[in-house]
Amino acid sequence: MLLPLTLSCESISCPLNNTVESVYGFYAADYAADGTLNTGTAISIGDTLTVTLLGLDSVILNRLIGASSMKLPVSYYEDTDVVELAFTDTLLQTASDTVWIHKRNHHHWDDPSCPVHMWHDVLDVRSTHYLIDTVLVTNPTINYDGLENFQIYFRVD
């Protein structure tokens, strides 16, 4: 009688949290007397925020209120992601800004037995300036570590 031979598998070192997202923090633009931006004054948005990925015409975040940050997906192969942020106030007036994120995409493997992920290196960011004063890149590597990649400074005037 032959018994089946069972071999134990080696432990797999694939991360459980492996969703690649860009992380945006919201801040109030505040300038020193010499004109330099004072960084780090976090705020929560009071208006309703809807986020659309232009080119895909997909609403990816709908009716966000009271948040101080947001996480957004990143395109795998496009060199530039175009993100529209539309803010609607209590009087139903809407103002929007557009953010362009120019990036380099590259494959990342944690282990040969794990699936491949697409990571991104931010090369440049620019925006319109209706409500946004400045967008800073705080961590140019977009991966699944959950660190803030962008600081969006809103005008306070």
Q: Is the Cα torsion angle 19, 105, 60, 41 positive or negative in sign?
A: positive
Give the tens place of pLDDT for each residue, 6-52.
Answer: 444 444 676 666 678 999 999 999 888 998 888 878 999 989 999 99
How many CB atoms within 10 Å of residue 85? 25
pLDDT at 19: 77
Q: Which two tokens stand for residue 145?
A: 């570590």
**What global pTM score does this model have?**
0.84
Residue 113 has pLDDT above 80, yes or no: no
Mean pLDDT of 113-117: 74
Report whether pLDDT(86) > 60: yes
Delimit the domains of the chain by residue range: 21-154
Cβ pair 128, 87 in contact under 8 A: no
